[in-house]
């Protein structure tokens, strides 16, 4: 067992295979892509292209966390027929739902996604039976839990099983602890030419990504938003979102062109996340991270270091930290402010860039940038609705949610047992439009209203609220050492649970300027 969190079995659910050839290639691989590594990396600091050996999520989970697969001497220990070989609790299982569609193992006809969802529930119950039969595991059926890890359409298979009561047994759904999705089209697939894949397109079952079809198997009413999670806590689903369409080479780059720049080459960024009602009925956004990776391939999202670091911290971490920027006021340039006071119509929108990293890891856990089409976007009226006045009360529902990070004390500094992360926050200077005309005086493209690299460190303290004491600091004032003791307050209610929160004041007094607070909320993660 992990000192801070139990290890549960992992079931990997692969993505979509369109043609019979792709299906046959898929079933010929025992691990269906979860074992695919990469020796690709981009440009190093020297300017040279550098190799980076990523052994695959499967190998890393085995070497770093002592997981085992269920293939022994050429036999699948979870095959339908009983086996006398023991199944370990800390196991990785591949859900081979395409076997029935293979000409080698089935009839060559692809079953509907509803059948895939039912099969997932059956697999979970079979895994529970075999695991609990192994006395060494010391696990009863009531204690048994499982993690679901899915790529692309595999995430929709998981959601159909979890959300639609007609597609699985309640006891199987109740065994699912967390769900991690890579590049899943949670709200369908849109293309430049045709938004919302037509429901009548049946080739390769691509209509599985039509919103009308999706609403049916997800157990939702017809809607333009089928990313709603029900019958499962939305905060326990993690969405890893790819932002690099350029490296997706499927169909000779045609898919990447059709999906557009704000995508991973197949799934648009806006369609790759989930949300749903929390315990009190309010809408809860699922945790997510944005990484500069494509939908699949050697530069793909599944076989990426960023993917692995987010996966393992979400599954095995002990602390969740969310960053929300509450903007109290944004001042306009003097000339724009003068025009506004004289009755001109002024329009502006703001883009917020964020890059967050954890200590000891050279990879950014999440990154949202304008040049990667993933920055957080807010119009002035979204931030400050209502009758114009200075300053106006902000709309807290529109406060930019910057990140959700999961921290693992097993990877902390041994002496202090602390966990630490840093985030680079930028608020870019917008293009101001005055009476319909673009205002470019004093404008420098790429300029920013605010920029700061902020460091945060959490120390375990049994006497502190929620068991953690927190410090923060600024890289330009005290590099690498958070020194300000945060004044915390307890979160007695709210999603996803109790914890502590503290504020970091944000202010840039020049024009255009910014005033507000960065709200950090930390919760124990189990």
Q: Cα separation of 242 and 275, whole Å?
A: 18
Pairing mode, strands 432-434 and 437-439: antiparallel
Residue 497, classed as helix, strand or coil, is: coil
Per residue in 238-253, is it b (16+ CB within 10 Å) or e — as a string? bbbbbbbbebbbeeee
pLDDT score of 187 more than 60: yes
**What pLDDT shows up at residue 60?**
97
pLDDT score of 155 more than 60: yes
CA atoms within 13 A on the CB side of 456: 30
pLDDT score of 240 more than 70: yes
Q: Which two tokens stand for residue 310?
A: 């987010």
* Segment of 168-177, 406-415, 474-483 carrying the highest mean pLDDT: 168-177
Record the pTM.
0.93
- Which DSSP letter does residue 217 get? H
Q: Cα separation of 419 and 411, whole Å?
A: 8
Residue 362, classed as helix, strand or coil, is: coil
Name every residue whose Cβ is closer than 8 Å to that of residue 343 and which is 6 or more positions away in sequence: none
Residue 514, classed as helix, strand or coil, is: strand
**What pLDDT shows up at residue 224?**
92
Residue 281, classed as helix, strand or coil, is: coil
- Judge whether 95 and 119 are in contact, CB under 8 Å: yes
Q: Cα separation of 147 and 119, whole Å?
A: 16
Per residue in 385-424, is it b (16+ CB within 10 Å) or e — as a string? eeeeeeebebeeebbbbbbbbbbbbbbbeeeeebbbbbbb
Confidence category of residue 2, pLDDT binned at 50, 70, 90: very low
Q: Cα separation of 458 and 425, whole Å?
A: 20
Confidence category of residue 391, pLDDT binned at 50, 70, 90: low
pLDDT score of 390 more than 60: no
Give the residue from 235, 186, 254 showing the smallest Cα distance to 401.
235
Q: Which residue has the higher pLDDT, 361 or 480?
A: 361
pLDDT digits (tens, 9 = 90+) for 282-338: 899 999 999 999 999 888 999 999 999 999 999 999 999 999 999 998 888 888 888
Cis upstream peptide for 477 (omega within 30°): no
- Judge whether 138 and 144 are in contact, CB under 8 Å: no
Cis upstream peptide for 496 (omega within 30°): yes
pLDDT score of 343 more than 90: no
Give the residue from 174, 204, 208 showing the smallest Cα distance to 188.
208
Neighbour count for residue 40 (Cβ, 10 Å): 18
pLDDT digits (tens, 9 = 90+) for 17-61: 988 999 999 999 999 999 999 997 766 667 777 788 999 999 999
pLDDT digits (tens, 9 = 90+) for 424-434: 999 998 888 88
Give the residue from 420, 499, 413, 404 showing the smallest Cα distance to 454.
420
Neighbour count for residue 431 (Cβ, 10 Å): 13
Separation in Å, CA 63 to CA 69, 74, 363? 12, 21, 20
For the chain, the C-alpha Rg in angstroms (whole number) is 24
**What pLDDT shows up at residue 43?**
64
Q: Cα separation of 113 and 262, whole Å?
A: 27
DSSP E strand stretches across 247-384: 275-277, 283-285, 288-291, 319-330, 346-347, 349-358, 364-368, 376-379
pLDDT score of 468 more than 60: yes
- Judge whether 394 and 327 are in contact, CB under 8 Å: yes
Average pLDDT for 204-224: 92
């Amino acid at each position: 067992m992990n000192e801070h969190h139990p290890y549960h079995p992992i079931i990997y659910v692969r993505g979509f295979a369109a043609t019979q050839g792709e299906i046959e290639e898929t079933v010929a691989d025992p691990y269906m892509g979860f074992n695919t590594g990469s020796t690709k990396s981009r440009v190093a600091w020297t300017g040279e292209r550098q190799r980076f050996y990523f052994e695959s999520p499967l190998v890393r989970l085995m070497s770093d966390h002592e997981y085992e697969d269920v293939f022994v001497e050429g036999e699948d220990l979870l095959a339908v027929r009983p086996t006398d070989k023991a199944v370990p609790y800390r196991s990785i299982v591949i859900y081979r739902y395409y076997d029935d569609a293979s000409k080698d193992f089935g009839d060559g006809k692809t079953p509907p996604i509803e059948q895939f969802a039912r099969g997932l529930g059956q697999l979970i119950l079979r895994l529970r039976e075999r695991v609990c039969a192994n006395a060494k595991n010391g696990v009863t059926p009531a204690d048994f839990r499982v993690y679901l890890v899915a790529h692309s359409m595999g995430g929709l298979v998981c959601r159909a099983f979890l959300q639609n009561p007609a597609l699985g047994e309640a006891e199987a759904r109740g065994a699912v602890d967390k769900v991690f999705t890579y590049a899943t089209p949670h709200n369908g697939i849109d293309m430049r030419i045709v938004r919302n894949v037509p429901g009548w397109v049946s080739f390769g079952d691509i209509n599985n990504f039509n919103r009308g079809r999706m609403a049916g198997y997800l157990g939702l009413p017809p809607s333009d938003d089928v990313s709603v999670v029900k019958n499962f806590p939305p905060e326990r689903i993690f969405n890893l979102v790819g932002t690099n369409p350029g490296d997706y080479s499927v169909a000779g780059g045609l898919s990447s062109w059709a999906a557009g720049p704000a995508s991973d080459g197949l799934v648009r960024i806006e369609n790759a996340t989930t949300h749903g009602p929390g315990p009190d009925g309010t809408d809860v956004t699922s945790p997510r991270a944005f990484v500069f990776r494509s939908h699949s391939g050697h530069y793909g999202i599944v076989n990426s270091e960023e993917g692995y670091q987010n996966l393992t911290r979400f599954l095995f971490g002990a602390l969740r930290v969310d960053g929300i920027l509450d903007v109290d006021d944004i001042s306009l340039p003097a000339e724009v402010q003068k025009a506004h006071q004289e009755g001109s119509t002024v329009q502006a929108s703001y883009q917020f860039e964020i890059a967050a990293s954890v200590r000891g890891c050279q990879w950014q856990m999440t990154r949202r940038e304008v040049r990667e089409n993933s920055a957080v976007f807010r119009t002035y009226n979204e931030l400050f609705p209502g009758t114009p006045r200075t300053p106006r009360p902000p709309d807290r529902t529109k406060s930019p949610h910057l990140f959700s990070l999961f921290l693992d004390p097993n990877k902390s500094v041994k002496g202090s047992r602390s966990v630490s992360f840093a985030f680079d926050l930028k608020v870019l200077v917008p293009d101001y439009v005055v009476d319909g005309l673009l205002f470019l005086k004093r404008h420098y493209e790429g300029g920013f209203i605010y920029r700061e690299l902020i460091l945060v460190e959490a120390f375990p303290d049994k006497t502190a609220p929620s068991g953690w004491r927190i410090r923060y600091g600024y890289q330009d004032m005290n590099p690498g050492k958070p020194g300000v003791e945060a004044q915390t307050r307890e979160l007695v209610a709210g999603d996803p649970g109790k914890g502590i929160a503290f504020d970091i004041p944000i202010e840039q007094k020049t024009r255009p300027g910014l005033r507000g607070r960065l709200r950090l909320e930390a919760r124990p993660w189990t």
